[in-house]
């Protein structure tokens, strides 16, 4: 028995509702903000923790988590690849011989978030984080984050966020991986996007494992900042096999927003930023 074709008008009505849902979601994404009554405010960005990996500098990773948690005026943005998550296709072979399993990875992430949870203001997924979603259909990273930072902004791919401190504001954009690259300029991708789109003045990226970079650039007559997170994975077999360049020693990067001067100041050294913030807040 042949199946009756779907009713065209009914399908059209469902399609209209789907478009309205998508449009409303995009409106919300375009109007996200992090608001602070006063500053200065330091947004620290960390990425490529690769929890579960044997080459991760765990002592430094957790020591810097404690530093972020204890520094006044300092908040946290997670920029993807928080766990190794080698669970799909040919990547499963990377798990052979590893001493930490998938369950261990997420246990380490929960421990990390237990330290910094109150400081997390935004989080972006990375390609490693997405593999779990791709395999299971469940965005487990979103669920884990929601338990410790339910008010944090979250997106699997790309977030446009305006930082508001007092009456000053700075539109920004965060994503794990940016299109475009250059062997001469680590922040070529986000800088190019800023010049094309003209709707953000600060940006955060990661993924390259080349070390932390805080770079100011001319954004149509206004100072812009492009930040690239380094990786806590300091011994990387894949990087050695591929001949990647040796990374610098920076992992976390920070951008300080000050409403009195209307300025942004970047740091590629977390300890120096923490010292700066403590002196400003009278705790140095």
**26 in any annotated domain:** no
CA separation, residue 80 to residues 49, 84, 164, 175, 177 (Å): 8, 11, 23, 8, 9
**254 in any annotated domain:** yes
Measured in degrees and rounded to the nearest 5, phi and psi for residue 152 equal -70, 145
Nearest to 63 by CA among 283, 252, 263, 253: 252
Give the helix, strand, coil percentages of the chain, each rounded to 5.
40, 25, 35
Residue 269 CB coordination number (10 Å): 16
With H, G, I as helix, E, B as strand and everything else as coil, classify residue 218. Answer: strand
225 close to 202: Cβ distance less than 8 angstroms: yes
Whether residue 40 is preceded by a cis peptide bond, meaning omega within 30 degrees of 0, is yes
Give the count of domains, the chain: 1
For the segment 183-220, what is each residue's pLDDT rounded down to a tens digit?
Answer: 889 999 999 999 999 899 999 999 888 899 999 999 88
**220 in any annotated domain:** yes
Strand order in the sheet with 213-219: 32-36, 158-165, 168-175, 202-205, 222-228, 213-219
- The whole-number pLDDT of residue 30 equals 86
**24 in any annotated domain:** no
- The whole-number pLDDT of residue 142 equals 86
**3 in any annotated domain:** no
**229 in any annotated domain:** yes
CA separation, residue 41 to residues 78, 160, 198, 267 (Å): 16, 18, 24, 13
For the segment 102-143, what is each residue's pLDDT rounded down to a tens digit?
Answer: 889 889 999 999 999 999 999 998 766 665 666 666 777 888
49: Cα within 13 Å, side-chain hemisphere: 29
Cα–Cα distance between 34 and 182 in angstroms, integer? Answer: 31
**263 in any annotated domain:** yes
pLDDT above 60: residue 90: no
What CATH number did the domain enclosing 77 receive? Answer: 3.60.21.10
**18 in any annotated domain:** no
User: Which residue range is the domain that position 195 belongs to?
Assistant: 31-280
Q: Long-range contacts: 267-270, Cβ < 8 Å, 24+? A: 267/42, 267/214, 268/212, 268/213, 268/214, 270/44, 270/64, 270/67, 270/68
pLDDT above 60: residue 92: no
Between 112 and 89, residue with greater pLDDT: 112
55 close to 237: Cβ distance less than 8 angstroms: yes
């Amino acid at each position: 028995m042949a199946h009756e074709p779907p009713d065209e008008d009914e399908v059209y009505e469902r399609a209209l509702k789907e478009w309205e849902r998508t449009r409303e979601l995009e409106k919300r994404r375009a109007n996200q903000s992090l608001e602070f009554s006063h500053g200065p405010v330091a947004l620290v960005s960390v990425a490529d923790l690769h929890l579960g990996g044997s080459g991760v500098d765990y002592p430094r990773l957790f020591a810097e988590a404690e530093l972020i948690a204890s520094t006044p005026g300092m908040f946290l943005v997670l920029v993807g690849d928080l766990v190794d998550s080698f669970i799909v296709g040919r990547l499963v072979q990377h798990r052979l011989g590893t001493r930490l399993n998938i369950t261990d990875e997420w246990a380490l992430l929960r421990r990390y978030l237990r330290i910094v949870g109150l400081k997390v203001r935004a989080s972006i997924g990375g390609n490693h984080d997405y593999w779990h979603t791709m395999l299971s259909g469940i965005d487990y990273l979103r669920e884990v984050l929601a338990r410790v930072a339910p008010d944090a902004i979250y997106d699997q791919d790309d977030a446009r966020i305006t930082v508001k401190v007092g009456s000053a504001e700075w539109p920004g954009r965060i994503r794990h991986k940016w299109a475009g690259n250059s062997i001469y300029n680590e922040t070529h991708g986000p800088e190019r996007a800023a010049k094309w789109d003209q709707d953000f003045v600060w940006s955060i990226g990661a993924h390259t494992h080349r070390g932390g970079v805080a770079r100011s650039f001319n954004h149509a007559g206004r100072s812009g900042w492009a930040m690239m997170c380094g990786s806590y994975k300091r011994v990387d077999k894949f990087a050695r096999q591929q001949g990647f360049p040796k990374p610098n020693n920076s992992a976390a990067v920070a951008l300080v927003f000050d409403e009195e001067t209307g300025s942004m100041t970047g740091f590629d050294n977390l300890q120096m930023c923490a010292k700066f913030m403590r002196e400003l807040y009278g705790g140095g």
